[in-house]
């Protein structure tokens, strides 16, 4: 049982290292989906901008945390 739990943890770990960041990415995809359905293909630009922005935001937050530790 513990082996299966460890295997599932490893597989999930391929996609998730920070649950908050992963939740934000999935939320952005959901927002993008709604936006594309309502406003058409041009809304995909919103998806790209939000995804790029979250990359900068979370990297900065992690960087700040790491520097505060040292």
Partner 1 sequence: MGQAVFVFSAAFLGSAVEATEALTIVLAVGLTRGWRAPLLGTVGAVVSLAVLVLIFGQLIVTQVPEWALKLLVGTLLLLFGLRWLHKAVLRSAGVEAKHDEERAYANTVAQLRSEAKQPTDWVGFVLALKGVFLEGLEVVFIVIGVGGTGRGLPVAVAGGVLAAAVVAAVGVVVRRPLARVPENTLKYGVGVILTSLGTFWAAEGMGARWPGDFVSIGALVIVYFVASRLAVTLIRRPAFA
The reply on whether position 64 binds partner 1 by CB under 8 A is yes
The reply on whether position 1 binds partner 1 by CB under 8 A is no
Residue written as token pair 């049982």: 1
The reply on whether position 43 binds partner 1 by CB under 8 A is yes
DSSP 42: G
Here the tokens at position 50 are 């939000």
Here the tokens at position 39 are 């406003």
CA–CA distance, 17 with 49 (Å, rounded to integer) = 22
Binding site for partner 1 (CB under 8 A): 10-11, 14-18, 21-22, 25-26, 29, 32-33, 36-37, 40-41, 43-44, 47-48, 51-53, 55-56, 58-60, 62-64, 66-68
């Amino acid at each position: 049982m513990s082996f299966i739990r460890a295997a599932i943890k490893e597989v999930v770990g391929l996609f998730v290292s920070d649950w908050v960041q992963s939740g934000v990415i999935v939320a952005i995809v959901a927002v993008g989906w709604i936006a594309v359905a309502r406003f058409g293909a041009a809304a995909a630009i919103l998806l790209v901008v939000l995804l790029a922005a979250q990359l900068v935001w979370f990297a900065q937050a992690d960087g700040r945390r790491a520097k505060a530790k040292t």
